[in-house]
Structure formats: structure tokens, C-alpha cells
Structure 1
Amino acid sequence: MSYSNYVLPAADRAGKWSLFMAWWALFSAMFWIYIAVASASAVGVTNTLIGIVLTVVTYGLINLVLSRYAARTGLSVNLLSRTLFGVIGSGLAALIFAATAIYYAVFEGSIIAVALQQFFGGSIVMWYALVVAYAVPLAIGGVRNWLDRLNGILLPLYFAGLVAVVIAATVIRGVPSHWIGEAAPQGALPGWLSSYLIYMGVYIMMMYTFDYARLGKKKDQNFHSQASFGWVFYLCTFGLSGLVGIYIMSAWGLEASETGVVQAFISSLGFIGVLVIFISQTRINTANYYLASSNLDALALRFGLRLPRYFWAIISGVVVFLLMLTDVLSYLLKALAWQGVFVTAWVSIALVYIALNRGKQDQLPEVRVRKLPLLNAGALAWILSAGTGIALTEQTAAPVLAQLAPLITVLLAAGLYYLAYRLQQPPTVTEAELSERDREVLAADAALS
């Protein structure tokens, strides 16, 4: 039972270490290695390290707020979005979230397929099919069933793999010279700011945080806001993974690319490198498929389509496989850039909403569909700010504005939503005010998820 369409009750929350292990699946994404290497290639290693430090601080603070609020209320991204944007607006949020999770599943799954093909040979289509076929069943069980145990077992193995690849690369290639102090390419913006803006492109992690944090118990908020979803997690995810990626790519003299990361691991560790990649991508894709399926489930329920969540996990797998068969990298980064604008605007709006309601500890946002408008003033603020961000990203007349688009989007979304909130304040409700009929209807939706 996923409760994708219902406030998660206390009895269905996950234990502290169960949720911790399930969430830390996201630590092992090869994407974090790739993004650090890409940033270092663009602005230099020193600027990238400064950008990572600032990013860890920012992500730690934002997710501290979001994770506490999600745990207190039991809301998902979809449910909070109903209050922020209305019923139709929440559907757009669920669609964007599911699509982004699917795109990341394509990227991470392709990494495994490429590694297997490079080492064993054979058809890449065959490896794509195998990668999807084994990943989907892992996500069907859900976080509280066995994803926590699976990822708990694999986590120390991945840590050991990171240590091993650094040692092996050093033994084989020697310590790369000047890999920290190399000159940074010149640009219109300071290099550290450019690196920081690159990491703003993965604010989808805030949405991931929200949907996972709602599974936590209220008494565990302090632990989760620091260790699970806060600065500890991002220090390892962005800091440790980034350093390892920059180091091994420098040692082998490889260009920043997803295949380059695979080549560095295999060149350093051989079959063990393939195994490390397999472990890392298996862990991250359990989260990608779980969140894609739960948000597709929530979206379908809005159209009266009640199907088990495992059905949407299978649909997610089919879509991932079909996307793998296309020239996905030619449009993947563009699609993620556009969706990233919507996501950064969502994060900004959610933070403003939480700040404006910080004194209402006994209140929950109203999530009952029949008591909410199809669209509200908040939806207009979201669409306008995201539309502006996309326009800035795509225009070529002022390259600096294109680079600053994520930051401008965040500030514009916050300002516009503040005005929208004052114009049309979303309703709140106490848990006791939910009628028995409301509970029965919502619980029926949840039981089919």
C-alpha cells in the first residue's frame, strides 16, 4: 500500500534505520560522479570544490525544512501540490516528478548496460532489457518491505568499491599531477557560482526527499533531517563521490562523459569495477522506479483509474526501456533542464508556503479534491516563474542570464507565490476535521495503490 493519494498515517511509517538505508540508495548514483567531473571540466577543480561546499550547505538547510514538514504532515509532493496549485496543478507536479524519475532511471540503467557490454560484449539492446527486467521487481515491494534491507546490504559494498577504485587507479596510473590546482576556464560568471548553478539543476532531490521523508516517524525528525536527508548525506553524495570521480578521471586522462566514468571504473578494477557499477546503479534505480511508479499512481487516481502500484512500476520499466532504444542523450539533458526549472520553482514555492504556515502546528493543508479549486493563484505563480526560467534558459542574446536562470527562477517563484498566497490563501484543516466518509474514500484510493 503506497498511500500515494492519502495522508500517510502514523501506523504505516518506517523505522529510523529502515528509512535511512532506503534513502541512502541515492548516494550511489553514478550521476553524482559525472556531474562533478563535468563541472570540473567546465570551471576547474578548485571552483567545483567551492561550489560543492556551498551546495552541501544549501541542500542541507532546504531538506532540513522539507523533511521535517513531510514527516509532521505525512504529505507527498502530489498532496502538498494540491494545496499549492489546485487539483490540476498537482497533476502537473506528479507528471513532472514521475518523468524526471524515469529519465534518471534511463541514465543510471544505461550506465549498467554500457558497463556490461564493454566487459562482456553482446548487443546493447539485450543489456538494456536485462537491466530493466531485474530492476522493476526490486521496486515493486516498496520502501518498508525490503528496499531498506537490500540497500543496507549493498551500501558498505559500494563504499568499499569507491575506496578500491581510488587505490587501483593510483597504483596503475600514479597520482595525477595538479588535479586540484589546474587552471580554471574563464567565463562570464565566477567559476564557483557556475558550479553552484550546475548543482541547482538537480533540485529534484528535494522532491525525492519530500516523498521519502513522509515515511518517517515524527519522533525521528531530528535524525532524518541531519543524517538521512541533510548535510551528512550530501557531504558524502556530492563531496565524496565528486572527489572520487574527479580523481579517477584525472588519473586516466578521460573526458567528462557517462561512458568515461564506466571506462575509469573498469580500467581500474576490471570485473570488480563492473560489480561496483552494478551495485551502485541497482541501489539508485530502486528509488527511481519507486518514485516514478508512486507518482504515476497518484496521477492516474486523479482520472479515476485505480490500479495497483506494481502496475505502474511495470509501466515505468517499459517506458525506460523504450527511451533507452532512442538517442536519449540527445534530448535527455534538454528535458531535464526544462523539468529542472519547474522543480526549482516548486521547491521555492514549497519553502515559502511552509514559512507562511510555520505557526500552524495543529493544521494540515487541505487535500480533499472536492474542497479545492482546479487551479489557484499559486498555479499561476508556478507557471509564470517556470516559464520565465525556461525562456531565459533557451534565449541566446544574453548568455549570463541563461546561466543565472535557476537562481532567477527561485527568486521569482518565491516573490510571485508570496503575492498569490496573500491574494488567495490555501485552506487548512485539522486531522480531526476529516470526516469518516473522507477517510473511507481516501483509504480506498490508497488500498488500490
Structure 2
Amino acid sequence: MSTLDRSLDPLHVSYADDPRVVKEAATEDYTTHVVPLSWRSSKKSLSMSWYSLVSGMFYLVTAATLAAVVGTVDTLIGIVLACVAFGALGYIFSGYAAKTGLTVALISQRLFGASGSIVAPLILAATSIYYAVFESSMIAHAFSASIGGLDIRVWYAIAVVMNLPLVMGGIRRWMDKYNAALLPVYWGGLILVIILAATRMDTSAWLAHTPQQAASLAAPGWLYAFFIYLGVLVLMMFTMDFARFGKPRDTKINGIATFGPVFYVFVYLANGLIGIFIAYAAGLAGGISSTAIVDFIVTLLGGWGLFLVWVTQARINTANFYVASTNMEALWTRLFRTRLPRVWAVLLCGAITYVFMLTDVLSYLLVALAWQGAFIASWVSIMLVHIIFSAGGDKNDLPEFRPGRLARFTLGAWVWIGSSVLGALFYQFGGAFGATWSTPLTFALGALLYAAAFKAQSRAALLRRANDPRDEVEDIWEARIRCHACDHSYIAVEMDRDPSQTGQPAICTACAGLSKEYLAACRNEHLSGGIAAADPARQPVQGLR
């Protein structure tokens, strides 16, 4: 620890969780804070919450559609490559998230600056909502086709409302238990579909299926299939928001089994094989759609088929709405400088999902996802390079993420925006070649540019600040420091001194992001060479980027 400045207010330190914080965390899940070690989940609990993403008609439909375009063999080769690539990325990203306890929104502050990072939660919230629209539409269609009696808009509302209570309690309170109970139902139901389809239809040649007419693609079939899966790199952002609850001692097993190769064998390969088989058995080779596969399952199993479809969509939508709501909360806080409780964030995401379902969403959903996919591919590549290049972190073996110790915009922000826009334009105007290659080229471009700018980015991103509360405690992960703004105590990892207040009392990351006075004072301190100004309000910030 450094010598204490006698002009500073003493820190209010404790070594037990603040009961008020624990009570809030039951629903908030430390959405705008670092996850303390005391709130980390067991391997089993975390895996059950994360494995909600295994079930989804999206994976079945994607594989079946690709098999219709490039054939079963090329599709499976692409899937295996995707399992390898995503498995490796999942291992790396989950380990980093467990080490730091940071959300996508918080780590993005280090990459792009305190202000430049605001796009990250926006992109992730929007993408999660789009996926929720897709999955909720499937269950609404199944209910309408099987039960009927109500307008489809009513079924849309029912499909959305059924999911919202399941994510209000967060990962530790309900999601893990709910998804653990329904996981056997999902796999058992799909196995039953396979058995019945195999006994009633001729499925002998499904593995050798080839398209009736070769498609005009800008890449070999197997590579085209791999690139399609690469378009779902948003799962790496999902990984960050879930894996931050992992215990550091479980990093290896979580990296392999929960977020890494084992998970993708189930989510891509197992689901892909099942999707191709079902589509072939149903005779959908020339007209595959999500609703057609749902209809086939319901026709084959009757009421149990409807239940299986509900289980499939309900499980994956817990993850969609969870990520959407946590990032909506972070976005709202940054935009309006006021807190939005996560329960209200869940309701807001549900309302937006329902409104989208009432529109002709499919007419623009794919284009929107493609444009957002460029930003996501670039974000993932930049994050990967940052993890590799900054093994020791900025301080205390951690990246700096506290808003008052970072520039408003970093060079990384311009790298992200530039590579993403170029990728989106390439997709939009590059014809078949652009549509096929935009994601891998955007990924490569973002990585190369960020690697080239890394040293300059690191020098310019950090503000010159004195008086760090981390230096005043023995263990930054165990010591809790009381925030003068909200009067709650959080771990020292996220705490800062507030130079806008006499005595520079401690302030937590969430409150720091809300205070214009704090941010202005921090930048004035930086401009004065790391010495806190006596009266920050009299020294306006000029020219800092």
C-alpha cells in the first residue's frame, strides 16, 4: 500500500458483503458492478444457466438450411470447424471474464473509452432482443397452429410474457434451476422425434444428401457453412456476461465444458445433426423454414410436440432476455444518467420484443443482424487481441475500467467503428462475395488494426490520476469500501476516489458513471498532471479525447 494522503477522507472498509447489496443482487446480479468472489456460481449452477442456449430452433434450422444449400457433408465440416473456433474463443473469453468479473459494458470502457463504449451494450441488447423475437415467434406460431382460438397478436403476447418472470431473479436465483429441470426434456423430446421419424419415414440417405442444384457461392461449400456459423460471434459477448460469475478456480473446467468445446459440440454439432435429420425426414429439402420444422414436430408428437417446442424456446429465451435486460440497464444508465432497476429493464425488453413481433420483422431482421454482426465480429477480434496483448493488465493484473481513469474516446473506438462500418458496407454492396466474406474479413481487419494501434491505445487510454483506493487496502477482492454517493459497500476493485468532493471520498463504478461532476474533476486532474484540483468546477476540461 502507498503512503496515505492526510488530506483524504478515510475509507470506510469492511470485509463482509453489505446486506443491502446482497439483497439488490438477487435481481440486479451486479449488472453495473464487478461481480465479487462471494457472488460467484458453482460449476453446476453456471453450466445449467449457460446451457439454456443449447436449445433453440435457430440451430436446427441453420444446419438444415445449409444442408439444403451445400449438402450434408460440407455442412458438417463447417460445423466441426465452428466447434473448434468457438470452443477456443469460449475458453479464452470465459477465463478472462472469470478473472475480471466484468460485463461487456464495463470491459468495453477499457477498449473504447468511457463514452466510446456506449455502443457495445446497445449492440448486444438489440441483438439479444432480435433473437428473442425469433424464438418467441416460433412458440406463438406453434400455439396458434395447435390450439387456435386467439388472434396471433395475443399468442405473441403470451409467448413473451411467459418468459419474463423466469429472468427477473438472475442467474443464481432461478435460471439455473429452471433450465436444469428442462434440459432432459429438451434432449429426450428430440430423441423421441428422431426415433419416430426414423420408424415412419425413409431416412437412409440423409447423411449423403446433396443439393439438387449447386448454388452459386463465393466460397467452397464447407467454408461457406463455417462462415455462416461465424456470424453468430455474439455468443462471445454472451459468454462474457455469463462467465463473469465463474469462480477463478473453476476456470479450466468452465472453459472446456461450460463455455468451450463441449458446449459447442452440443449446440452446433448435435443440434445440427438433429436439424438436418428432421428436415430430411419431413421432406423439407427444398423449403426449409423454422415454422415448417415446428409444424413437423407438433404433427409427429401431438400435444407433447407442442410442449417440446415450448421448452425449446422458453429455455433459450431466458438467456436472450437476461442478456438483453442487463445490457439495457447498462445502456439506460449511461444514456440518461439514472438507474433503471433490472426488473423494469426486463419489462422494457419484453415490450420492445412484442412491438417487433407485430411488425414484418423478417423483412429487416436479417439485414439488421448482418450490420450488427459486423460490429460484433470486430468487437470480438479487438477483445481477443486485447486479452493476448495485455496479459498483465493495467494495474493489479486487471484492465482499467473505472470511468474516471479512462479517456472519453480511445483509438480503439475508431478502430472498432471504422472496421465495423467497412464490414457492413462490404456485406451490403459486395454482392455474393461480400455477403459470404464480410464477417471473417471484418474480424481480421479489426484484429490487425487494433494490434497495430495497441501501444498508442494503451498510452492514451489511461488518465493520470492519484489517490487510488486499491492502494489503501490489503486485498482488493475481499475489502469492501463504502460509496459516498449511494452509501453501499462494494469491493475495492471497482472503487475510486471522487476528486469533485472535498476529501475525495470513495465512489463506486456505477455512481461514478452517473456523476458529471466526478468525470469532469477526474479529467481536470489528468490535465493538471495527476494532481487533484482544489476546485474542479472552476477548471473546465478542454480538448481531452
Aligned twin of 1:224: 254
Aligned twin of 1:292: 324
Give the secondary structure class of the aligned counterpart of 2:407: coil
- 1:441 matches 2:507: yes
Aligned twin of 2:528: none
Provide closer, same or farther for how the CA distance between residues 178 and 217 of structure 1 changes in structure 2, counting only shifts above 3 A. Answer: closer
Give me the TM-score of the superposition, normalised by structure 1. Answer: 0.95
Q: CA deviation at 1:141?
A: 0.5
Q: CA deviation at 1:443?
A: 6.7
Provide closer, same or farther for how the CA distance between residues 427 and 355 of structure 1 changes in structure 2, counting only shifts above 3 A. Answer: farther
Aligned twin of 1:389: 423
Q: Which of 397, 404, 414 is the equivalent residue of 2:447? A: 414
Q: CA deviation at 1:197?
A: 0.6
Cα shift readout 1:142-181 (whole Å, capped 9, x = no counterpart): 0010110000000011110110111111222232535434
Q: Provide the C-alpha distance between the structure 2 equivalents of 1:173 and 1:230, rounded to a whole number of angstroms.
A: 35
Q: Which of 83, 92, 100 is the equivalent residue of 1:65? A: 92
Q: Provide the C-alpha distance between the structure 2 equivalents of 1:256 and 1:176, rounded to a whole number of angstroms.
A: 19
Q: Which of 114, 118, 143 is the equivalent residue of 2:141? A: 114
Q: Provide the C-alpha distance between the structure 2 equivalents of 1:434 and 1:349, rounded to a whole number of angstroms.
A: 33
Q: Which of 213, 234, 248 is the equivalent residue of 1:204? A: 234
Q: Provide the C-alpha distance between the structure 2 equivalents of 1:369 and 1:9, rounded to a whole number of angstroms.
A: 19
Contact 1:43 1:191 in 2 (8 A): yes
Q: Provide the C-alpha distance between the structure 1 equivalents of 2:122 and 2:472, rounded to a whole number of angstroms.
A: 27
Q: CA deviation at 1:444?
A: 6.2
Q: CA deviation at 1:431?
A: 8.5
Structure 1 segment 266-305 matched on structure 2, within 5 A: 266-302=298-334, 303-305=336-338
Aligned twin of 1:98: 125
Q: Provide the C-alpha distance between the structure 1 equivalents of 2:206 and 2:50, rounded to a whole number of angstroms.
A: 35
2:365 maps to a residue whose letter is L
Aligned twin of 2:11: none
Cα shift readout 1:280-305 (whole Å, capped 9, x = no counterpart): 11111111111111001111222311
Provide closer, same or farther for how the CA distance between residues 431 and 280 of structure 1 changes in structure 2, counting only shifts above 3 A. Answer: farther
Name the one with the larger helix percent: 1
Provide closer, same or farther for how the CA distance between residues 157 and 445 of structure 1 changes in structure 2, counting only shifts above 3 A. Answer: farther
Structure 1 segment 157-176 matched on structure 2, within 5 A: 157-176=185-204
Aligned twin of 1:14: 41
- 1:364 matches 2:364: no
- 1:238 matches 2:268: yes
Give the secondary structure class of the aligned counterpart of 2:97: helix
Provide closer, same or farther for how the CA distance between residues 319 and 287 of structure 1 changes in structure 2, counting only shifts above 3 A. Answer: same
Q: CA deviation at 1:73?
A: 0.7
Q: CA deviation at 1:368?
A: 1.4
Provide closer, same or farther for how the CA distance between residues 301 and 76 of structure 1 changes in structure 2, counting only shifts above 3 A. Answer: same
Q: Provide the C-alpha distance between the structure 2 equivalents of 1:34 and 1:175, rounded to a whole number of angstroms.
A: 18
Report which structure shows greater RCO (CA 8 Å, sep ≥6): 1
Farther off after superposition, 169-178 or 282-291: 169-178
Q: CA deviation at 1:92?
A: 0.3
1:257 maps to a residue whose letter is S
Q: Provide the C-alpha distance between the structure 1 equivalents of 2:91 and 2:235, rounded to a whole number of angstroms.
A: 13
Q: Provide the C-alpha distance between the structure 1 equivalents of 2:288 and 2:103, rounded to a whole number of angstroms.
A: 35
Contact 1:39 1:195 in 2 (8 A): yes
Q: Provide the C-alpha distance between the structure 1 equivalents of 2:203 and 2:221, rounded to a whole number of angstroms.
A: 25
Contact 1:5 1:442 in 2 (8 A): no
Aligned twin of 2:218: 188
Runs of 5+ unmatched residues, structure 1: none
Contact 1:179 1:250 in 2 (8 A): no
1:109 maps to a residue whose letter is S
2:507 maps to a residue whose letter is V
Cα shift readout 1:332-357 (whole Å, capped 9, x = no counterpart): 11111111111111000000000001
Q: Provide the C-alpha distance between the structure 1 equivalents of 2:52 and 2:511, rounded to a whole number of angstroms.
A: 28
Q: Provide the C-alpha distance between the structure 1 equivalents of 2:69 and 2:370, rounded to a whole number of angstroms.
A: 17
> CA RMSD, aligned part only?
2.0
1:82 maps to a residue whose letter is Q
Contact 2:55 2:267 in 1 (8 A): yes
Q: CA deviation at 1:362?
A: 3.9
- 1:340 matches 2:368: no
Contact 1:172 1:268 in 2 (8 A): no
Q: CA deviation at 1:424?
A: 2.1
Q: Provide the C-alpha distance between the structure 2 equivalents of 1:152 and 1:365, rounded to a whole number of angstroms.
A: 34
Aligned twin of 2:533: none
Cα shift readout 1:195-225 (whole Å, capped 9, x = no counterpart): 0110011111110011100011111111110
Runs of 5+ unmatched residues, structure 2: 1-24, 474-480, 484-494, 497-505, 515-545
Provide closer, same or farther for how the CA distance between residues 170 and 11 of structure 1 changes in structure 2, counting only shifts above 3 A. Answer: same
Provide closer, same or farther for how the CA distance between residues 249 and 181 of structure 1 changes in structure 2, counting only shifts above 3 A. Answer: closer
Q: CA deviation at 1:22?
A: 0.5
1:232 maps to a residue whose letter is V
Aligned twin of 2:32: 5
Give the secondary structure class of the aligned counterpart of 1:404: helix
Provide closer, same or farther for how the CA distance between residues 341 and 306 of structure 1 changes in structure 2, counting only shifts above 3 A. Answer: same
Q: Which of 250, 266, 279 is the equivalent residue of 1:249? A: 279
Q: Provide the C-alpha distance between the structure 2 equivalents of 1:434 and 1:337, rounded to a whole number of angstroms.
A: 47
Contact 2:105 2:120 in 1 (8 A): yes
Contact 1:73 1:214 in 2 (8 A): yes
Give the secondary structure class of the aligned counterpart of 2:288: coil
Q: CA deviation at 1:445?
A: 5.1
Give the secondary structure class of the aligned counterpart of 1:424: helix
Q: Provide the C-alpha distance between the structure 1 equivalents of 2:46 and 2:348, rounded to a whole number of angstroms.
A: 25
Aligned twin of 2:158: 130
Contact 1:301 1:445 in 2 (8 A): no
Q: Provide the C-alpha distance between the structure 2 equivalents of 1:4 and 1:104, rounded to a whole number of angstroms.
A: 21
Contact 2:179 2:315 in 1 (8 A): yes
Q: CA deviation at 1:399?
A: 2.5
- 1:375 matches 2:409: yes
Provide closer, same or farther for how the CA distance between residues 256 and 89 of structure 1 changes in structure 2, counting only shifts above 3 A. Answer: farther
- 1:329 matches 2:371: no
Aligned twin of 1:265: 297
2:317 maps to a residue whose letter is N
Cα shift readout 1:389-432 (whole Å, capped 9, x = no counterpart): 00110014x53233111111011000111122222214499993
Farther off after superposition, 381-390 or 420-429: 420-429
Larger gyration radius, structure 1 or structure 2: 2
1:320 maps to a residue whose letter is T
Contact 1:78 1:91 in 2 (8 A): yes
Q: CA deviation at 1:433?
A: 4.0
Q: Provide the C-alpha distance between the structure 2 equivalents of 1:101 and 1:331, rounded to a whole number of angstroms.
A: 15
